[in-house]
Structure 1
């Protein structure tokens, strides 16, 4: 072992280098042990079902992302500082590397924190059948990751001696140029954020946009995708979605229904007076429908016209069609029992009798 004290490397004996390596290894093992103990302990506390179990879960998940190869640079810097006599430049380089590794590790911890809360929120939304939450979670995750790693990058650059003030100013000027070049994309991005915050519609809503109708399937950073009734996928830019009128049928609490029918002109007055009462009896016999009114509305060329209004207590379209079918069948049955006929388009032609025209004969000779 004489050679450990006889030979030198960069002004330090080999024994000092071996001591630094041992200290580095011990420090790394200590950090790994601390990580394992904290993760296990936090997980055990979380499994006890306390009110703060999700907080402990998140901390355990965060620490589970600790990378030993990043901790190695912390341990190495500690070993070098403790056991070796090196130039200030060497200590500065080792300290900068350790700082960069630490900041990267902090970024990984932050990433896992964001991922934990986003995933847990998505799970709760699925359990509560809250499809609207999925619209905002993707955008929130993207924004949080962008802000987090932007801050990590700026802190790393500042630690390395880069003047980030000038950098931020340069990025601002460059950002203006980029924004002008991609203003349509940025417009859709900010439209996406507006949709997330204002929530005019969310995933699962049935909407009508101009002549297009379908169910919201996905709200992305640039486009919104809708599954139409006929099966194809419709893709709209987010800015187009905000610049047009959107009818959101999913948010209906009730559905107001107006329907009309007619009876022939020769229908007796007694039957005309009875028709609104018959319609009311039919509608009031349906639990999911609330009768509003039924009136002899007016006259058309081939019929006396009646108009009926009722309120569906559910917005479901299929339920509405079922109720309308019951009403129609009830009207056919009641009218048949009372001898009332439904009108159908007719036209009466009034042809006058031929006119006899006396023709003057030739003058008598």
Structure 2
């Protein structure tokens, strides 16, 4: 599907006399983003950080396949449905930067592109949104829980096989409306998205990570540029958060080494503990009846190796079979 875009300047250019502004050039950097409220928030946040550092930014709104097609994600191509058109615009030179939610960005590198910055991560928790119960344990049997994620679905069913877990598409506001209309008894959403949109009052319960491991890269943003674009790379360098970068690298390399994609029932959580990097990973069957888990620790300087180690240990437990089966999931709608 061809990408469609319209250029939109949303920030007033900075008039501060910053020494770096002249060195980096005077024309605005064109930042590509999806048009949803959450994607705009993320792009505007990155643009504001760059402006504060003396770099003017112009937003370019790009419609992706995931935005215009309301079918379940696994039926419209799965991986990259929210990113391919934006990456194409970056390669074509129509934009200079692309802001992604890292949980949506495929782990397979795109020739000619590079991740130039990963800012400090927001919460990577999942949350329950519900008016009938205080937490997931208190939901009555047969309650209908909405999620568009195989990872959330599998972990919900692992703990509560008596729930009806149904697919849901649409932006955050659309999902909340469907809950209010009674189409669902509860939703499971990302805490970071609700907080970024100022909708945290809808959070009923923050799901413990011991109950539900987050998606790879959940809560983190990634800013992608053309490989070799020194101006963009220099402008973005101050936005990179080294601890978040290491954690996300470990998670993404675990997912890549598993041969899984963004839609697989795979969870991961990497973090710094006692000057080391710890990574917890999980792979489940779609129906939640089988759960494989691993926890590994390694040097902070070796996130890629730690991710590969976690994947090898999960594979030795039979993760490959679960992932292969997930490529032909049952209809969640």
> Scaled by the length of structure 1, what TM-score is found?
0.19
Q: Which has the higher helix share?
A: 1
Q: Which has the larger radius of gyration?
A: 1
Q: Which has the higher strand share?
A: 2
> Scaled by the length of structure 2, what TM-score is found?
0.20
